Amino acid sequence: MTAPADRADALRLVALREEPLDVAEVVAALDDAESGGLTLFVGRVRDHDGGKGVTGLDYSAHPTALAEMEKVCVRVAEEYDVHGVAAVHRVGSLGIGDIAVVVATTSAHRGTAFDASRALIDTLKATVPIWKHQRFADGSDEWVGTP
pLDDT reported for residue 1: 42
CB 54 within 8 A of CB 135: yes
pLDDT digits (tens, 9 = 90+) for 88-129: 999 999 999 999 999 999 999 999 999 999 999 999 999 999
Domain ranges of the chain: 8-144
The structure's pTM equals 0.92
Q: Where are the beta strands (DSSP E) in 45-98?
A: 48-49, 52-61, 82-90, 92-94
Report the CATH number of the 8-144 domain. Answer: 3.90.1170.40
pLDDT reported for residue 2: 47
Average per-residue pLDDT in the chain? 94
**Mean pLDDT over residues 140-144, rounded?**
94
Q: How confident is the model at residue 4 (pLDDT cuts 50, 70, 90)?
A: very low
**Mean pLDDT over residues 26-35, rounded?**
96
State how far the Cα of 76 lies from the Cα of 124, in Å rounded to an integer: 10
State how far the Cα of 35 lies from the Cα of 48, in Å rounded to an integer: 37
Calculated CA dihedral for residues 53, 139, 143, 64, nearest 10 degrees: 100
Work out the percent of the chain whose per-residue pLDDT is above 70: 96
pLDDT reported for residue 8: 86
DSSP classification of residue 45: -
Closest CA to 116 of 4, 52, 38: 38
CB 14 within 8 A of CB 70: yes
pLDDT digits (tens, 9 = 90+) for 54-88: 999 999 999 999 999 999 999 999 999 999 999 99
